[in-house]
């Protein structure tokens, strides 16, 4: 190799991008040639100078905001046909709880009906039904609004007729009147409305308020199931967090513990995952170390990983045992 | 993007397939495997948090929308980073147009960028050193600004991310030889701009 070839190879050499034979030839040359060795030294100094640049740091908050904005757009870009509540149904029916307190299949069936009506009457304005958080509160046909009431199933609709000429649909619906119900929270009707509201209310504020009333009643099986469902399936992290908090006094219930592990594995909100770790760590059981070790391996959020390690250390379990 | 997150190839394939079937959870999981490095590179290349956020959003939304066309012919991360790279290149190009328009204003603009702030915090114990380091960071930033968007991107990936030239070429849809030439031009410009730098 002669001196004239060296300048074009210096940086590639330092980057390790030369073929082995070229590297060998270059190194042989600079062992003999002082001026080419000086070129290498000069390039090294240039590299060192460039390396003083401080790489930008990705803060947790920035990353979390980016992720949040992105997923909001993703969910917004199309109607969510398999809702989070479907997942809850799957979770319960996977032998953990047995028997559903509510009926995702029925909810889905009603959604399809409402969606179909919407498409037929709005002439393709389907995005009106691209719900963001929860299923739509209702759909408007002409001047009449049908409240979204999954539990009423099809019984609220008496008949449907379509005019193929202008693509208009006529639906006869049982009228639903607004009324106020008041009484002690133990009143059976109020109790069941609160449960229904946690599961079905379109407005997350209403769901939060319902949880507030129910939070002290989690010794009741129906309430606890509803809280579990809300913690696992509600699309609003604030609501999920409130449900998680209401379950705090019931950590002895294996179903609550299992659900918290599920939160650790699946909840998209790092805050929820951290709370789940905290709650599980108060009364650690034998399975916890394994779950946390899995988390140390797979968790993307540094803070959650840190918390997992911290609890693992408290448990005297080796982080790298598996 | 050099320090690639570890992703079990089997589960990654399952995630991609699920995401192709509109499983949003699976998509989010995929995003989380790679988004930190995408965002870091965008911040480094674009030197603006706002631009980097926009690039993040645009890159992953583009990926989401074209995921159904992903046929496993290359690795997912190469495919994803190709999208992200193109988004950053576009942003740099728009930026260089803006910069030309605002050139007069920018020369007197001494608002610290994210990099300046970062170096500030680190060397705060020694003000002289901090000053020197700040000046150095500023000089390097200015020199990097002299590069064309493509040179800038190639240099970032090679020098700071340590990616192989072949992979960089793949991401930019240019040959390895063209990538090498681009890197040479970047080096020549940078060395010229920084020749009086204290060493
Ligand atoms: Zn020589």
Domain boundaries, chain B: 7-102, 131-199
- Residue B9: the pLDDT is 64
pLDDT at A189: 85
In the predicted model, is pLDDT for residue A207 greater than 70?
A: yes
- Pick from A138-147, A172-181, B89-98 the range whose average pLDDT is largest: B89-98
- Between residues A135 and A54, which one has the greater pLDDT? A54
Residue B119 has pLDDT above 70, yes or no: no
Q: Which of A29, A30, A39, A32 is nearest to A7 (CA)?
A: A39
Question: Is a pLDDT exceeding 80 seen at residue A170?
Answer: no
Distance CA A13, CA A24 (A): 10
Nearest residue, CB atoms, A46 vs list B36, B114, B191: B191
Residue B9 burial class via C-beta count within 10 angstroms: exposed 0-12, middle 13-18, buried 19 and up: exposed
Mean pLDDT of A2-29: 94
Least reliable range by pLDDT among A87-101, A248-262, B53-67, B109-123: B109-123
pLDDT top residue among B20 and B136:
B20
Q: From A274, A281, A217, select the one nearest A249 (Cα to Cα).
A: A217
Under 8 Å between Cβ of B76 and B16: yes
Distances (CA, A) of A15 to A18, B76, B157: 8, 25, 12
Paired tokens of A222: 């129906």
Chain A closest-CA separation from residue B157 CA (Å):
12
Q: What pLDDT, on the 0 to 100 scale, is given for residue B54?
A: 95
CB contact under 8 A, A55 and B44: yes
Cα–Cα dist B36/B50, whole Å: 16
Q: Is B82 within 8 Å of B143 (Cβ atoms)?
A: no
* Partner-chain residue, chosen from A50, A74, A82, that has the shortest CB–CB distance to B27: A74
Q: A292 in helix, strand or coil? A: helix
**A313-317: long-range contacts at Cβ-Cβ below 8 A with a sequence spacing of 24 or more?**
A314/A281, A315/A284, A315/A288, A315/A289, A317/A289, A317/A292, A317/A293
B7-102: in CATH 1.10.1740.10 = yes
Residue-averaged pLDDT of chain A:
74
**Is the pLDDT reported for residue A199 higher than 70?**
yes
Q: Is the pLDDT of residue A125 over 70?
A: no
φ and ψ at A179, to 5 degrees? Answer: -150, 160
Q: How confident is the model at residue A252 (pLDDT cuts 50, 70, 90)?
A: confident
Residue A146, beta-bridge partner list: A139
Instruction: Pick the residue from chain B with its C-alpha nearest to A81.
Output: B22
pLDDT at B139: 87
Provide the CATH topology of domain B131-199.
Answer: Arc Repressor Mutant, subunit A (1.10.10)
pLDDT for res A88: 58
| Minimal-distance CA residue of chain B relative to A73 | B61
Nearest Cα to B79, choosing from B144, B20, B146, B129? B20
pLDDT range class, residue A176, cuts 50, 70, 90: low
Mean pLDDT of the region B114-133 = 49
> Which pTM does this prediction carry?
0.51
The answer to whether ipTM exceeds 0.90 is no
Please state, for a pLDDT cut of 90, what percent of chain A lies above it. 22
Task: Please report the number of interchain residue pairs, chain A to chain B, with beta-carbon separation below 8 angstroms.
Answer: 105
Return the residue of B nearest to A51 by Cα: B160
Please give, rounded to a whole number of angstroms, the shortest distance from the CA of A49 to a CA of chain B: 7
Sign of CA dihedral B127, B129, B133, B136: positive
pLDDT > 60? residue A269: yes
Tell me how far the alpha carbon of residue B190 is from its chain's centroid: 18
Do residues B63 and B57 make contact, with C-beta atoms less than 8 angstroms apart? no
Question: How close is the Cα of A3 to the center of ligand 1, in Å?
Answer: 4
Give the per-residue pLDDT at A106.
42
So what CATH class is A188-314?
mainly alpha
The angle at the Cα of B181, spanning B179 to B187, to the nearest 5 degrees, equals 105
Q: Is the pLDDT of residue A290 over 80?
A: yes
**Using the 8-state DSSP alphabet, how is residue A286 labeled?**
T
Q: Is A314 exposed, middle or buried (0-12, 13-18, 19+ CB in 10 A)?
A: exposed
pLDDT at A120: 36
**pLDDT mean over A235-253:** 88
- Max mean pLDDT among A67-81, A92-106, B152-166 falls in B152-166
* Residue-range domain boundaries for chain A: 3-49, 84-177, 188-314
Q: What is the reported pLDDT for A91?
A: 56
Confidence of residue B6 (pLDDT cuts 50, 70, 90): low
- Chain mean position to CA B151: 12
Test B165 with A17 for CB contact under 8 angstroms: yes
């Amino acid at each position: 190799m002669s001196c004239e070839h060296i300048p074009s190879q210096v940086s590639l050499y330092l980057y390790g991008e030369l073929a082995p034979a070229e590297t060998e030839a270059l190194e042989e040359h600079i062992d003999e040639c002082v001026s080419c060795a000086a070129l290498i030294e000069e390039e090294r100094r240039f590299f060192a100078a460039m390396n003083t640049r401080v790489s930008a740091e990705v803060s947790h908050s920035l990353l979390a905001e980016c992720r949040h904005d992105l997923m909001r757009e993703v969910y917004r870009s199309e109607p969510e046909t398999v809702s989070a509540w479907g997942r809850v149904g799957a979770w319960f029916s996977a032998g953990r709880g047995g028997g559903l307190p509510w009926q995702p299949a029925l909810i889905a069936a009603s959604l399809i009906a409402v969606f179909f009506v919407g498409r037929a009457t709005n002439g393709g304005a389907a995005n009106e039904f691209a719900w963001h958080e929860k299923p739509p509160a209702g759909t408007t046909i002409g001047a009449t609004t049908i409240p979204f009431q999954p539990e009423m199933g099809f019984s609220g609709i008496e008949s449907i007729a379509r005019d193929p000429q202008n693509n208009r649909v006529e639906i006869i619906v049982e009228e639903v009147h607004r009324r106020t119900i008041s009484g002690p929270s133990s009143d059976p009707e109020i109790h069941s409305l609160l449960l229904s509201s946690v599961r079905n209310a379109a407005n997350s504020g209403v769901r939060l308020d319902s949880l507030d009333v129910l939070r002290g009643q989690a010794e009741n099986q129906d309430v606890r199931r509803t809280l579990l469902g809300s913690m696992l399936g509600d699309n609003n992290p604030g609501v999920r967090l409130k449900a998680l908090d209401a379950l705090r006094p019931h950590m002895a219930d294996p179903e609550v513990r299992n659900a918290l592990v599920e939160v650790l594995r699946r909840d998209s909100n790092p805050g929820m995952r951290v709370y789940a770790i905290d709650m599980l760590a108060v009364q650690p059981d034998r399975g916890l170390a394994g779950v946390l070790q899995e988390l140390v391996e797979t968790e993307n959020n540094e803070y959650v990983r840190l918390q997992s390690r911290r609890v693992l250390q408290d448990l005297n379990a080796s982080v790298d045992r598996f | 993007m050099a320090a690639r997150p570890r992703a079990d190839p089997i589960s990654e394939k399952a995630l991609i397939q699920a995401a192709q079937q509109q499983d949003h959870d699976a998509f989010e999981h995929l995003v989380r495997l790679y988004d930190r490095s995408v965002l870091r590179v965008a911040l480094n290349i674009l030197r603006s948090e706002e631009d980097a956020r926009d690039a993040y959003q645009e890159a992953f939304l583009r990926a989401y929308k074209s995921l159904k066309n992903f046929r496993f012919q290359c690795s997912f991360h190469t495919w994803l980073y190709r999208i992200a790279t193109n988004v950053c290149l576009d942003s740099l190009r728009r930026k260089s147009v803006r910069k030309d328009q605002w050139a007069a204003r920018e020369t007197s603009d001494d608002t610290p960028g994210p990099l300046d702030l970062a170096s500030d915090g680190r060397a705060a114990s020694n003000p002289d050193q901090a000053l020197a380091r700040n000046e150095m960071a500023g000089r390097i930033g200015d020199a990097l600004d002299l590069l064309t968007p493509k040179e800038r991107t190639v240099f970032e990936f090679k020098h700071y991310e340590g990616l192989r030239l072949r992979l960089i070429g793949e991401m930019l849809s240019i040959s390895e030889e063209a990538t090498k030439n681009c890197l040479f031009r970047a080096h020549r410009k940078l060395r010229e701009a920084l020749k009086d730098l204290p060493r």
